Amino acid sequence: MARVQVYIPAHSHFTATIPVRITDLNYGNHLGNDALLAILHEARMQLLQNFGYSELDLGGASLIMADVAIVYKGEGFYGDVLSINMAFDDINKYGFDITYHVLNQNGKEVARAKTGMLCFNYKERKLMSLPDEVKAKIETIA
């Protein structure tokens, strides 16, 4: 069976630190897949905020998630403090990818993930181009 691959670039633009809460655990007593996706969302919000943006205000555009891929590498447990190293990648006319390398407080890899983010106009319900200001800013860092 073919497995999903998520490439983590050598560079990182921001690291979020997020603890695993008791409500993040599933019946296996470890970090649940739904909770990890929510943690990645929080990390993405912190990344964007670090650069002066939000999902609803990205230099005049908004963001919508086109796809997500997660590769689980280890378990996360209650009390773990996750470091999520993020990078902008594959910048294109309509958006970019964000990669997430999730490690626990001991440096053990928990997951690798990628979200495809597209610029979107919620009033018109259609895609829009990545604003030049944003593209220049994240290309410079990338």
Regarding the domain with residue range 14-141, which homologous superfamily does it belong to in the CATH classification?
Answer: Hotdog Thioesterase (3.10.129.10)
52: left (phi over 0), alpha (psi -120 to 50) or beta: left
Query: What type of residue is 80?
Result: D
pTM of the model: 0.95
The pLDDT tens digits for 32-76 are 999 999 999 999 999 999 999 999 999 999 999 999 999 999 999
pLDDT band at 1 (very low <50, low <70, confident <90, very high): confident
Per-domain residue ranges of the chain: 14-141
The pLDDT tens digits for 68-115 are 999 999 999 999 999 999 999 999 999 999 999 999 999 999 999 999
SS3 20: coil
CA distance 96 to 81: 27
- For 35, the token pair is 């909770």
